[in-house]
Structure 1
Amino acid sequence: MSKPIIAVTIGRAHYTRIFSEAAWRALDAFAEVIHHPKEEPANKADLLALLPPADACITGWDVAPIDADVLAAAPKLRAIAHTGGSVKRFVSEAVWARNIHVTSAAPALAQDVAETTLGLIIVGVKRILPLSQHVREGGWREHPAWPAREVHSSVIGIVGASNVGRRVIELLRPFHASILLYDPYVNETEATRLGVTKVELAELARRADVISLHAPALPSTRHMIDRSLLRLMKDDAVLINTARGALIDEEALVEELAKGRFFAFLDVTDPEPPAPDSPLRRLPNVVVTPHLAGCITDCTHLGEMAVEELRRFFAGEPPLNRITPDQFGRIG
C-alpha cells in the first residue's frame, strides 16, 4: 500500500528548531514527505500550491489559515497536525465541515511553560527580586519583603486547568503546597483527582499567596482579573501570567502595583510588547519578560509529537491530543 503524502508547511528556516533527526526518520518511515520550499511559513498562495496532493499537513506558528479556498484546492487532505499550542488562528469552520482530523502539540508545549511558571513561583515566594535589589543597594534583611517564604506553606491559586495549568499542578505536587483551582469546566470529582480545592475566583484571589493564570483568551475571559479581583489580593501576594495578556485589566493592574501591594511576573501583556512609556516597564514590583515561557531555541519535542500524531492517525491508533469542534470554543 502506498504511503500517505504529508506536507510540511512551517518553512525551512524553522526546521532545526522544530524537528529533530528522530522526527524526520519517524516521518519518512510511514509517509512520503513534501516540503514548502521557502524559508518562512507558508502563506495562502503557498498552501494553494503545496496541498493539492497531500493527505495531511504539519502546520506551525505563522502558517496561513486553512480556509475554504485552501481546502477546496486540497481534496485529499484528511488530517492536520499543529506543532504549536492553540489551533484557533488557522483552523476554519471549513475544516470542521470536512471532518478533518486536527491535533495540537499543546501538551508538549505545556511542559516548557509549566516549568517556567514553577520557577517564577519559587522566585516569587522567596522574594528574590526585591530582596536582591535591596542587597544591591546596601541593605540586608531589614526590608518589607523579608522574611522570604516557602512553597510548601504557601497557598497557590491556579486559574484554568488547561494543559499548562494541569502540568503546573503536577510539578507542585512534591512541594505539598495547598492548591486552589478556579475553572468552571472542572467538577468536584475532577478537582479531587487533581489534588486541588475547587473555588470561585473571588475566593482564590482572597486566599492565594500566589495566583498563576492559565486560562484561554476568549471574550468571556477578557479582563477576568479586573479591578475588583486585584483589590481582593493579599498585600504580599505574587501574580504570574504566562498565559495571555488580555486576561488582566492592565490599567487596573498598574494602579494596584503602583501601591506596592504585591509583585507581578508578566510573560505576556496586552498589548504585546508594552508601550515604551508603559508603567509596567518602570514599576519596581513587576517583572515583564518577552513571551519566553514556552520553548524558544529547542522545540523539537513539538515536532516529534506532531509526527507521532500523524503516525497514529494513519495507523488507526488513538490520538494523543485531538482537537474537536466542541473543544474549539474553549481554546484561546
Structure 2
Amino acid sequence: MSFIDLPADRPDLPQVTLPSCVPALVPAYRERLAALHDVARVRMYDDSITDGREFLRRIEGADLAVIAGFHIADDVLRELSGHVRCLVFSGTGIASFVNVPLAHSLGVTMCNAERYGDASVAEHAIALLFEIARGVGHQNASLHAGRWFDEGGMLQLQGLTIGLVGFGGVGRAVARIADGIGMRVKVWCRHPDREPLAEFHAEPAASLDDLFAGCDVVSLHLALNEATRGMIGAHELDMLRPGSILINTARAEIIAPGALVERLRRGDIHAGVDVYDHEPLAPDDPILALPNVVTTPHTAWKTVRALDNVAVQNADTIRAFLAGSPEHVVD
C-alpha cells in the first residue's frame, strides 16, 4: 500500500480521501485527483481493503470520500456521517455499495458517475453474446490444445430478435450495435420514448412477459434500486424458450436470488453473466459449474476510456460540490 497526500502544506483546504481503490482505477485516479490540489487536500490509497475499521481510520478528518468498490456497512456509514459531507462513487450502481435511504437520513450527499462506460458495457454485452453464439474462445482453446475444431451448430445472430430490458445509455448502445448486425430489436422500459426507438429501428414490447417469451436474446440494462431489485424471477425466466440467451451486464440483484442458476440447470438456455450477488465470485459458486453460461469477472466497464471517464467525472463532481453546486447527486 502507498498513498499520495497533496498538498501537505494546506490545512485550510477541505480533505478529499480515496481510502480504497479498485486496482484498474489507480492510474486514472492518480492523474485526475492530483489535479484537485488547488481546491482540496487529496489523500489517495492505492490498495483495496474490505475492513470497515481500517476504512474509517483512513478517512478520518475527510470532508469528502471517493468510493471505488468498497461496500459501506450501516455502522460505518453512521460513523463517517459525523464528518464526511459527500460520498462520490466510481459508478452508477451505488445501491450495491451503501444503504441509500440511510445515507439520505444522515444528511450525507451522494454523487455518482453517469454514462462514463455506456459504450464499454454495451460492447461487453455483445461480446458475451458472440461468445455464446460462435464459441470463439472455445475454438481458440481447441486449436492451442492440438484439436481441429470441427463442430457445427453455431448460431447466426443476424435475423434474431434481441429484447432489451431498460433503454438508458447502455441499452441504446446495445440497440445500435444489434441493429447494425441485422438483429431485430424489442424494448421494454417503464417510460418508452418513441424517438430513440425509431432511431434504432426498435419496437416496444407489449409487456415484460411478452419480451421474455418472444425474443431469442434478452439483455438486462436496468439500474439497481428498490423498484428493480429482484424484479426478474422464476416467472420471467420460465418464459425463456429453449435455445434462447440471457445477458446480464447490469446488476445481479435485478434477478431474484438463485433464480438464474435454477433456470440454467435445466440446460435448455444459455447465459452470459458479468455481475454477481457476491463479488469476487467464490470458486465454488454454483454458476461456475454450469456448462451453458459464459462468465466474466465484472469487467464490462473496465476499458481504458471508461476508467478515465470515471476519474474525470469524479474530479469534476468534487470541484462542483466544493464550489457549492453539486452535480450527479443521487436522490
Give the TM-score range, shorter chain: 0.7 to 0.9
State the partner residue of 2:162: 156
Residues 1:231 and 1:91: Cα distance change in structure 2 (over 3 Å): closer
Corresponding residue to 2:321 among 290, 313, 321? 313
State the partner residue of 1:329: none
Post-superposition CA distance 1:192-239 (Å, at most 9, x none): 376432221111112222111223445654554433433322322221
Aligned-pair CA distance for 1:32: 2.4
Q: Does 1:121 align with 2:129?
A: yes
Corresponding residue to 1:103 among 89, 108, 111? 111
Residues 1:304 and 1:252: Cα distance change in structure 2 (over 3 Å): closer
State the partner residue of 2:188: 182
1: CA distance, partners of 2:178 / 2:326: 29
State the partner residue of 1:192: 197
1: CA distance, partners of 2:318 / 2:246: 38
Aligned-pair CA distance for 1:60: 2.0
Q: Is the 8 A contact 1:110 1:164 kept in 2?
A: yes
1:221-236 maps to which residues of 2 (within 5 A)? 221-236=228-243
Residues 1:159 and 1:312: Cα distance change in structure 2 (over 3 Å): same
Residues 1:6 and 1:179: Cα distance change in structure 2 (over 3 Å): farther
Amino acid in the other structure paired with 2:126 = L
SS in 1 for 2:81: helix
Please report the TM-score for the alignment, with normalisation by the length of structure 2: 0.73
Please report the TM-score for the alignment, with normalisation by the length of structure 1: 0.73
Aligned-pair CA distance for 1:6: 3.7
State the partner residue of 1:268: 275
Q: Does 1:35 align with 2:43?
A: yes
Q: Is the 8 A contact 1:6 1:58 kept in 2?
A: no
Residues 1:59 and 1:176: Cα distance change in structure 2 (over 3 Å): same
State the partner residue of 1:210: 217
Q: Is the 8 A contact 1:188 1:198 kept in 2?
A: no
Corresponding residue to 1:73 among 78, 83, 92? 83
2: CA distance, partners of 1:207 / 1:275: 34
1:313-332 maps to which residues of 2 (within 5 A)? 313-315=321-323, 319=327, 321-324=328-331
Post-superposition CA distance 1:126-146 (Å, at most 9, x none): 4556777999876635x4x24
1:221-260 maps to which residues of 2 (within 5 A)? 221-248=228-255, 253-254=260-261, 256-260=263-267
Aligned-pair CA distance for 1:310: 1.9
Aligned-pair CA distance for 1:174: 3.6
SS in 2 for 1:309: helix
SS in 1 for 2:36: helix
Aligned-pair CA distance for 1:62: 1.3
Q: Is the 8 A contact 1:154 1:177 kept in 2?
A: yes
Amino acid in the other structure paired with 1:7 = V
SS in 1 for 2:187: strand
1: CA distance, partners of 2:276 / 2:20: 28
Aligned-pair CA distance for 1:149: 0.9
SS in 2 for 1:291: coil
Q: Is the 8 A contact 2:88 2:314 kept in 1?
A: yes
Report the aligned-residue RMSD: 4.0
Q: Is the 8 A contact 1:18 1:302 kept in 2?
A: no
1: CA distance, partners of 2:80 / 2:259: 43
State the partner residue of 1:168: 174
State the partner residue of 1:19: 28
Q: Is the 8 A contact 2:19 2:65 kept in 1?
A: no
2: CA distance, partners of 1:318 / 1:171: 34
Aligned-pair CA distance for 1:114: 2.2
SS in 2 for 1:295: coil
Aligned length: 311
